[in-house]
Structure 1
Amino acid sequence: MIEGLVERAGGDDEDAIEELVAIADSEPGRLGQYHARMLQLDVLWPGKLYRGAGEGVVSDVIAQVEAGQELGRLNHLLLVLAHSGHPLAEGALRRWAEAPAPGFEALHVGPLAYAREGGWSVDADGRRRELCAGVAYEWLIRDAAPRADRPGCPWCRSPLWRAAELDAGETDALRHTGWSGRLTVETCAFCSCYTTLYSRVQPDGGAAWWDGNARPDYLGDGEAEEPPNRVAVAGPRRPGPYQASAWGTGGSTLGGHPDWIQDAEHPDCPECGRAMDYVGLIGGADLDEYGEGAYYIHLHAPCGFAAVNYQQS
């Protein structure tokens, strides 16, 4: 079955590509033996089809990059390397950061920035760091308990939305962040649709708007609105780390890897500048029957910052 899908994908059959993506999300190991054929057929998009690609395929991709490619194909090859997560891919991205391969002058970002598309980064100290958890859990969206005192957004005056509440001891989803204790994520459901919003968080569950949030010039003075009266709580473990869905009902996921609607958008910690760890996704479809897009939640435990950003098609 997969062999046929690969051949059809090589002929630009979008339905076949969608089926391969579904396999990459549910059982990525099943595609390993077909990666070489996919590369031969120039099936490069999306890059997550190459999760866990082996040394031979990764070496071939590196050789193609170093031979020089037009911008669009170069971009796809770099995404393939990022999603492979292979040590050879990491080494190549590091090398090209110092000595760019042909065509890199046309890229909009440096080669190491591509690592974030695969859910990892190379910190300023040179160490590789996984930004995502290797396990994932359903994020159950429940009605929130009434609150007598709800802080308001300093920009639009809407009550802040308590998006998620969880304890690090409930699941393994926060282990990669180093967080211990209770985590409360509170943000403006409306202003976070226009820019990344940061909050200070504490292990006792405390959360407060960060005064350093920068209001975009294009953000108008709208009327205060009621945020979703819904909160995400940890549910059962998902079969794999790639089960989040930014589109479908039930796709909200704690841990694992994000389902980005656009490019990967791991924010930097506003205090130390390191990439923040990914915590989970809350889909608009789980908040409201007419909801769209998705909220992405991030954490940088050493500096005590949470962040929320939003994407839609």
Structure 2
Amino acid sequence: MIDEELISRAVADDDDAIEELTEIANSEPERLTPYLGRLLDAGVLWPGTMYRHAGTDVIERVVALVDAGEQPKALGHRLLVLAYSRHELAYEAMRRWIDQPPAGVDALHVGMAEYAQEGGWTINPDGSRRDLCGDVAYEWHLRAAPEPQVNPACPWCSSPLWIAADLDGASPALAHTGWTGRLRFRTCHFCSCYDTVFSEVTPDGGSTWWAGNVRPDYLGATEPEEPPTLRPEVGPARANPFQASAWTDGGSTLGGHPQWIQDAEHPPCPGCGLIMDYVGLIGGADLDEYGEGAYYLHVHAPCGFAAVNYQQS
């Protein structure tokens, strides 16, 4: 059980208490379920990850608050609560609000589908729901690559391309993607820090730079850099899908849900425009002693595209 004092401190807007509850939401989100009604009563909505294991009663209350138009300035945080809950009622409500916008929606910076992506799912253009993240996750341990490989040069900066991951598509962590066969992520470790880099992938492990990648104007002249010499190897299963960390050693994770440093950034597939499926996170702290930020890997199996993007504080 959670200490009642901890909940009382969170209700009183104690930052340390809320941070502790956030850590519990990442490790054992079900422990928070009995207390979510009280937090909702007190208007403690941030971070929305605390509501990952919210019950139907809490979700019904949040939907009713949005429908009633109460405190429209709280709409964004309420939508995040619904998104992180991944509850079926949350999906039904957000799909309805796309056509029947609730009070306060004009002040939002993104639409309903983008809010859903914060929770690891999306609303497709036809109104259907699709999970972008899997429910199975594994530790990713960064090890020296088995042997040096000669890789093509990045068309933007001339650095040798980096094989960020080389995966067996049969892994349960990739089940939600529909990918079969070998999945290799070849990208530029430097340029993907500035913009999403796409590659075309095939089930035999083929991975080639997509000719449609557009060099961002703000990426100035650079000298070629050697890519990381480490590659992730799959370790033990994580206790739940929410234990990836973009900040700490050992946070790199195959599958599960990402920890975004900024807002969620699931890229659209350049082939069809649908949002790509999330594959894993490689933390800068695991790549280098002084590393920061994180690389996020994505795939869209129907079109054969992979993508790598990056966030840092």
Confirm or deny a common fold (TM above 0.5).
Answer: yes
Partner of 2:6: 5
- Partners of 2:95 and 2:127 within 8 A in 1: no
Amino acid at match of 1:129: R
Please state how far the C-alpha of 1:72 moved relative to its aligned partner.
4.7
1:165-185 deviations in Å (ceiling 9; x for gaps):
11022x300011011111110
3-state SS, counterpart of residue 154 of structure 1: coil
Name the CA distance, whole Å, in 2 between partners of 1:52 and 1:118.
12
Partner of 2:302: 302
Please state how far the C-alpha of 1:21 moved relative to its aligned partner.
1.0
3-state SS, counterpart of residue 235 of structure 1: strand
Partner of 2:193: 193
Normalization by structure 2: what TM-score?
Answer: 0.97
Please state how far the C-alpha of 1:3 moved relative to its aligned partner.
2.7
Amino acid at match of 2:258: P
Partner of 1:228: 228
**1:144–1:205 CA distance, 2 compared to 1 (3 A):** same
Name the CA distance, whole Å, in 1 between partners of 2:261 and 2:120.
15
- Partners of 2:72 and 2:103 within 8 A in 1: no
- Please list, as runs of the form range in 1=range in 2, the aligned pairs for 1:141-152 lying within 5 A after superposition: 141-152=142-153
3-state SS, counterpart of residue 163 of structure 2: strand
Partner of 1:76: 77
Name the CA distance, whole Å, in 1 between partners of 2:214 and 2:71.
37
Name the CA distance, whole Å, in 1 between partners of 2:61 and 2:50.
16
Amino acid at match of 1:235: G
- Partners of 1:277 and 1:298 within 8 A in 2: yes
Please state how far the C-alpha of 1:274 moved relative to its aligned partner.
0.7
Amino acid at match of 1:78: L
Name the CA distance, whole Å, in 2 between partners of 1:182 and 1:112.
30
Please state how far the C-alpha of 1:253 moved relative to its aligned partner.
0.1
1:52-80 deviations in Å (ceiling 9; x for gaps):
21121111111222232556521111100
Partner of 1:126: 127
Please state how far the C-alpha of 1:106 moved relative to its aligned partner.
1.4
Amino acid at match of 1:227: P
- Please list, as runs of the form range in 1=range in 2, the aligned pairs for 1:138-287 lying within 5 A after superposition: 138-169=139-170, 171-287=171-287
Please state how far the C-alpha of 1:310 moved relative to its aligned partner.
0.4
Name the CA distance, whole Å, in 1 between partners of 2:100 and 2:179.
37
1:209-264 deviations in Å (ceiling 9; x for gaps):
10101111111011111111111121111111111000000000000000011111
- Partners of 1:182 and 1:205 within 8 A in 2: yes
3-state SS, counterpart of residue 184 of structure 2: strand
Amino acid at match of 2:120: G
Please state how far the C-alpha of 1:147 moved relative to its aligned partner.
3.2
- Partners of 2:182 and 2:203 within 8 A in 1: yes
Partner of 2:110: 109
Amino acid at match of 1:157: S
Please state how far the C-alpha of 1:122 moved relative to its aligned partner.
1.5
- Partners of 1:297 and 1:309 within 8 A in 2: yes
Structure 2: which 5+ runs fail to align? none
RMSD over aligned CA atoms reads: 1.2
- Partners of 1:71 and 1:107 within 8 A in 2: no
